[in-house]
Amino acid sequence: MQPIGPLMHEHRLIERMVGLVAEQAEAIKRGIAPDSEFIEDAVEFFRVYADRCHHGKEEELLFKELGSKDLTPELSAIMQELIEEHKQGRSLVASLYQANKKYRKEGGDSQSVVELLNELSSFYPAHIEKEDKHFFFPVMEYFTREQMDSMLEDFNTFDRQMIHELFLQRVDNWEKVSEQSGSGNAG
């Protein structure tokens, strides 16, 4: 298996979530109140799975390895575009988080929530297509079989460590909240 196999597999799950995000936007346009809980879960999915897990493997492992290769100018440009798109995706998700938070707190206008859901549901398919059809296969030619096997092993290690990183961060955050509220002694 090539390292792009797991990445493309992850794309399929991201596409499924994108479909649900698009359905949520359409429901709101039809007059149904935003499902703030779903949107909160979608934000977490995009932050943890799409960005930290998926983009993390791309940026910290694949792109880092490609940085030492003599890529064609076209592939080098695509890689830079992908890195910028990852930043754009983070920004969209952060904006959706804020819009949903505001909607939950104040109610009322859901227009910004709908706009951000629509932006996300158009952003990710184009980004995924660029990776799947224009980048992943050509860059695999720069790796030997041994390098690909090593990268696959690194992907597995990355995934195993990520769950620990995620919950360490959550406990750190809960402790900060506890200390700020004075509601308990976390330690």
What is the overall mean pLDDT for the chain?
A: 93
Q: What is the rounded distance in angstroms from the CA atom of residue 114 to the CA atom of residue 22?
A: 9
Q: What is the rounded distance in angstroms from the CA atom of residue 178 to the CA atom of residue 73?
A: 51
Q: What is the rounded distance in angstroms from the CA atom of residue 46 to the CA atom of residue 60?
A: 17
pLDDT score for 167: 83
In the predicted structure, residue 182 carries a pLDDT above the cut 80: no
Burial 137-155 (b: 16+ CB within 10 A, else e): eebbeebeeeebeebbebb
pLDDT score for 165: 85
Q: Report the greatest alpha carbon distance in the chain.
A: 57
In the predicted structure, residue 7 carries a pLDDT above the cut 90: yes
pLDDT score for 168: 87
Q: Could you give the 3-state DSSP secondary structure of residue 60?
A: helix
Percent of residues, the chain, with pLDDT higher than 90: 83
pLDDT digits (tens, 9 = 90+) for 75-119: 999 999 999 999 999 999 999 999 999 999 988 779 999 999 999
Residue 148 tokens read as 């690909």
Residue closest to 53 by CA, chosen among 181, 158, 187, 164: 158
pLDDT score for 147: 97
In order of their start, the domains of the chain are 4-175 (1.20.120.520)
Q: Could you give the 3-state DSSP secondary structure of residue 54?
A: helix
pLDDT score for 183: 58
Q: Which of 51-55, 109-113, 180-184 has the lowest mean pLDDT?
A: 180-184
Q: What is the rounded distance in angstroms from the CA atom of residue 107 to the CA atom of residue 96?
A: 15
**Residue 185 confidence class, pLDDT cut points 50, 70, 90:** low
Q: Could you give the 3-state DSSP secondary structure of residue 144?
A: coil
